[in-house]
Amino acid sequence: MNQIELLEMAIKFHGHKCPAMPLGLRAGWVAMEKLGVERASNKELFCYLETGPAHAMMCFGDGVQVATGCTYGKGNIEKLNYSKIGIILIDVKNKKAVRVSINPEFHKMAIGSQFVQMRKNGIEPKDIAPEIIDPLVEKVMQASDDKLFKISNVFNFDFKPKKSTFELHECEKCGETVFATAIRIVDGKTLCLPCSEYEKAPAV
Ligand SMILES: [Zn+2]
Ligand SMILES: [Zn+2]
């Protein structure tokens, strides 16, 4: 897939057109170029995503996933919750990494845009006119790497991937199946996390 096709796919995946998602594509691409790697088909790459739990431009993270192939489904991306627009991309096999973070000048300019002001006023991205969004997306897609980002040199990173388990258990309380990484033994019974009293499960 070329970059235009990836942009189209990313917009479908993301759900709406906005400038922060393509910025994530660009961050992923420049990091991959710097490392000399291809998009991960499995877990060849690992990404630390520096965005946080609730702030503007979090859409960045979806672009990063599409560009790098580091996805929450495959488990080769982890959110650091720094509330920053940046990534550390790791070439797992060659133990090399690069950090790409938003250029503060560009960030300050972007946060003052009409699009962001409208978002701040509670207008949904899908309700913002293409005449406002399209030029911003175009700008992000066309701008030079240096205008958008600060890019580190490649550095050594001895990343130790977690080994996936294939071991399946059955919870003795709810009867549901659960992988070995999260079972708890309570009074001799094998339980899943929501059924155990060890950790509070999220409210359903
Ligand atoms: Zn978005
Ligand atoms: Zn259970």
List, as ranges, residues with CB under 5 A of the ion ligand 1: 18, 21, 59
Nearest ligand, CA of residue 192?
A: 2
* pLDDT at site 1: 86
3-state secondary structure 52-108: CCCCCCCCHHHHHHHHHCCCCCCCCEEECCCCCCEEEEEECCCCEEEEEEECHHHHH
Q: Residue 178 C-alpha to ligand 2 middle, in angstroms? A: 8
Please state, rounded to an integer, the average pLDDT across all residues of the chain: 94
Residue 15, phi-psi category: left (phi > 0), alpha (psi -120 to 50), beta (remainder): left
**Model-level pTM greater than 0.85?**
yes
* Range 3-156: architecture per CATH: 2-Layer Sandwich (3.30)
**Using one digit for the tens of pLDDT, what is the confidence trace for 145-160?**
999 999 999 999 999 9
Kindly state the tokens that stand for 142: 């066309």
Model confidence at 203: pLDDT above 80: no
Q: What confidence category does residue 136 fall into, taking pLDDT thresholds of 50, 70 and 90?
A: very high
Cα–ligand 2 centroid distance for 170 (angstroms):
8
Answer yes or no: is pLDDT of 33 > 70.
yes
- For residues 103 and 148, the answer to whether their CB atoms sit within 8 Å is yes
Centroid of ligand 2 to alpha carbon of 55 (angstroms): 34
User: pLDDT category, 197, cuts 50, 70, 90?
Assistant: confident
Rounded to whole angstroms, the Cα distance separating 109 from 116 reads 10
* CA 174 – ligand 2 centroid, Å: 4
Q: Is a pLDDT exceeding 90 seen at residue 198?
A: no
1.10.1660, 3.20.20, 3.30.70, 3.30.60: which CATH number matches 165-204?
3.30.60
State the distance from the centre of ligand 1 to the C-alpha of 125, rounded, in angstroms.
Answer: 7
The segment(s) of the chain belonging to CATH 3.30.1330.130 are 3-156
